[in-house]
Amino acid sequence: MRNSLYRVNVLMKKACVLLMTLSLIFLTVSCGSNTKKEDLSFEVVDNTIVIKGYNGSDPYLNIPDKIDGIKVVEIEENAFKDNSVIEKVKLPDTVTKLGDSCFSGCGSLKEVYISENVDVIPDSCFSYSSSIEKITAKGAKECGSFAFSGLDSLMTLEISEELNEELSSNDYNAVSKKGRSCEIKINGKNVTVEETPTMEGMYATPLF
């Protein structure tokens, strides 16, 4: 009897380990695999790929560095604007340019990783994507107007020191959060930000 119970316990433990392993494999595959080219709108320009949009249903957008052997280098203006499906974005290191408003108004978007080879965050890049919690853009050294406006849920910003200085000195480039002061983490440091109205009636939050 004891031997039977022992064998049952061993089998149950093995089954649990197997299920956990399969779950981890599934999560790794689903989160680590590139977005299928069939789910992307793109154009070949001068033997490079420009991404124009996304029509897939997977909330994780992991753009490949190449499509059909051609390097992906740019995200077009308004490429993902007002998309309600995307929750997380990872851009490959081959991408060097973002178009204006490319992630604007993405209501479900929570996390964005921008290639360190992107030097400029363009006008209204993330504006009014109010669910964004984390943006990583360590290579960018400058940004356009209202690039970070209306980010009501933003908690973490990983950026270069050059971009940090620009955001701190210009209301039009500042981080904007609606209705309250808050604390966000910038490059690992907790920073309390306060709302201040700008000339245009917008609300900007200087970082320092």
Among 11-25, 100-114, 167-181, where is mean pLDDT lowest?
A: 11-25
Kindly report the number of other CB atoms within 10 A of residue 199's CB atom: 7
* Helix, strand, coil content of the chain in percent (nearest 5): 20, 30, 50
Contact between 64 and 92 under an 8 Å Cβ cutoff? The reply is yes
Q: Which of 84-98, 131-145, 150-164 has the lowest mean pLDDT?
A: 150-164
Of 45-49, 66-70, 196-200, give the lowest mean pLDDT range: 196-200
* Residue 11 per-residue DSSP state: H
Window from 3-7, 139-143, 163-167, 184-188 with minimum mean pLDDT: 3-7
Cα–Cα distance, 93 to 115 (Å, whole number): 5
Say yes or no: domain 32-204 is CATH 3.80.10.10.
Answer: yes
DSSP SS3 for 71: strand
Q: What span, in angstroms and rounded, lies between the C-alpha atoms of 92 and 96?
A: 9
Characterise 106 by phi-psi region: left (phi > 0), alpha (psi -120 to 50), beta (else): beta
Could you tell me the two tokens for 52? 């124009």
Tell me the per-residue pLDDT of 103-137, one tens digit each, with 9 for 90 and over. 999 999 999 999 999 999 999 999 999 999 999 99
Q: How far apart are CA 22 and CA 43, in angstroms?
A: 37
Where exactly are the structural domains of the chain?
32-204
Kindly report the pTM of this predicted structure: 0.74
